[in-house]
Amino acid sequence: MIYSKKTFVTSLFFFLLFAPTLLADSGPPMPESESRLKNRSPKEMAIAYYNKGLGLKDDAWKFEKEAAEASSDSEKAKLLGKAQKSYTKAIKQYELALKKDPDLYQAHSGLGYVLRKTGDHQAALESYNKALELQPTYTEAIEYRAEAHLGLNMLEEAKAAYMVLFQHDRPRADKLLAAMKDWVVEKDQDPGSAGREAVQNFAEWVKERSEIAQKSGSKGSNGVW
């Protein structure tokens, strides 16, 4: 088929007009506007809000990483402040997700995480409990709930969570063990309401579990029950 110069120019015009849309559709999903979300089903809207929450959590992690590498206390404080703002914004997105789909257990767990990071360990615990009520084998929630337990000095609950993870999800067990070590270092300086004896006993338990984990290597499954 032979195209005239006029036809070619017209075709090129329409390609340039719509190319950005075509290219955008071929890549990762773009952030959705509120008007577009309203045309979706409740479950689809829940997932969209959940993904927004994930994005804000990722932003917070980025700010925290930059804060750890900051060259001055003022810069570090500024970056940590930005991280807290991102976590706070994420709370709203997870709550919106759960209004649309109360059974989205990942959103309950995500909400628990950002609540914990903003200092509300009790509310975080409730969110994790709901996530695990819906999906008892969700090891992410088991691990993060145990960190909330640490924040509330609920040491026996944290230990029990570690033992479950050690059997079913070693990477998350290792992550929890690292959090336990950090807790021991912090409380060794100031035991607070946890009490000096409880801190010492827990430190011994953590030491024993560290030695066992080291000897057993990376044996164990990764989130498979």
Assign 66 a pLDDT band (cuts: 50, 70, 90). very high
**6-10, 86-90, 107-111, range with the lowest pLDDT:** 6-10
**Does the structure show a pLDDT above 60 at 135?**
yes
Q: What Å distances lie between residue 8 and 15, 23, 96, 166, 208, CA to CA?
A: 10, 21, 48, 65, 75
Q: What is the mean pLDDT of the chain?
A: 85
Same domain membership, residue 72 and residue 45: yes
In this prediction, residue 26 carries a pLDDT of 33
Check whether residue 144 and residue 59 sit in a common domain.
Answer: no
In the prediction, which pLDDT does 67 show?
Answer: 96
Rounded mean pLDDT, 14-19: 38
Lowest mean pLDDT among 23-32, 145-154, 187-196, 201-210: 23-32
Boundary-marking domain end, from 136, 168, 196: 136
Per residue in 142-167, pLDDT tens?
A: 999 999 999 999 999 999 999 999 99
pLDDT of 175 reads 97
* CB distance 173 to 142 below 8 Å: no
Tokens at residue 73, please? 């206390």
User: Is residue 134 packed enough to be buried (19+ CB in 10 Å), middle (13-18) or exposed (0-12)?
Assistant: middle
The domain spanning residue 52 has which CATH number? 1.25.40.10
3-class secondary-structure state, position 79: helix
Task: Please report how many Cα atoms fall inside a 13 Å half-sphere around the Cα of residue 224, on the Cβ side.
Answer: 4
Whether residue 182 sits in one domain with residue 141 = yes
Helix (H, G, I), strand (E, B) or coil at 138: coil
- Written as six digits, the tokens of 138 are 């969700």
**Structural domain for 89, as ranges:** 36-136
pTM of the model: 0.77
Task: Quote the CA–CA distance of 150 and 180 in Å, as a whole number.
Answer: 7
In a domain, 18, yes or no: no
In this structure, the answer to whether residues 146 and 161 fall within a common structural domain is: yes
How far, in Å, CA of 128 to CA of 116, rounded? 10
55-64 pLDDT tens trace: 999 999 999 9
pLDDT for 39 equals 72
Domain boundary among 109, 136, 163: 136
**Which amino acid is it at 101?**
D
Q: How far apart are CA 76 and CA 62, in angstroms?
A: 12
Q: Do residues 132 and 42 share a domain?
A: yes
